[in-house]
Amino acid sequence: MSTVASTARIHPMAVIDDGAVIGEGVSIGPFCHVGPKVVLGDGVELVSHAVVTGRTDIGKACRIFPGAVVGGEPQSVHHAGEETTLSVGDNCVIREGVTMNTGTVGGGGKTVVGSNNLFLANSHVAHDCQLGNHIIMSNNVMLAGHVVVADRVILGGGSAVHQFTRIGRHAFIGGLAAVSYDVIPYGLLNGNPGVLGGLNVVGMARAGVERSVIHIVRRAFKKIFDGEGSARTNAAGLREEFAECSQAMEILDFIAADSDRALSSPFRGKS
């Protein structure tokens, strides 16, 4: 039997499979389908014609619009029907036609989406992606498997992100960009192939980063990418110089971390 809170409102033409858990104040519109292993947190709204399936948890106050399919099986040739999961945080807006897949056994079995994110129409979150909070994915953005997107990243319409790529906090990805390599925190990437055009200064200012700090981060950026060595070698030699600037250190830590992908740069797209 399903567990349905007394304050939930379910349209008579919606289908709720046995085993689903429906929280307080949930609203489920006509022609929605909620699978047997789904948990809908308090205040979730399924507008109409939405599908939530798989072993999927949806956090509080999320809104899911018509045509969205959340919790579908991973689109991976390696998936053999194993039970994996999708977790979505609180206060996310999932617009028309958005798709989010559960994880794969080989990728850890979990797709994780944070809170306060906005997914515009027809955007896609593939298996084993790990997303932070306050992210905006514009229309038709495509994340391949195993992508990591940190907090407050904005991805422009039609951009595509290669599998296993990391995108650092406060980065901005331009519309139609091809993200084939890791993008540093505060990075600004455009084009196909994607080229790192500098820093997301507008985003930094909106986040309250002082102008003097932005100048310091710009100086670090120039030394990383304009130095004689590789970006990773240059970054490793800058830690002492920029130790007092947390934003610069965030970039240096990102570059130093292990990754399956090369690093996006201003030159030929990668470094």
- Residue positions annotated with a catalytic role: 127-128, 145
Report the C-alpha gap between 54 and 111 in whole angstroms: 12
Strands 195-199 and 187-190: antiparallel
Could you give the angle at the alpha carbon of 181 between the alpha carbons of 212 and 136, nearest 5°? 65
DSSP run (H or E) holding 85: strand 85-88
How does 108-141 read in b/e, with b if 16+ C-beta sit within 10 Å? ebbbbbbbbbbbbbbbbbbbbbbbbbbbbbbbbb
Report the C-alpha gap between 248 and 250 in whole angstroms: 5
Report the C-alpha gap between 82 and 28 in whole angstroms: 28
Farthest CA pair distance, the chain: 67
* Angle between helix 211-226 and helix 246-256 axes, rounded to 10 deg: 30
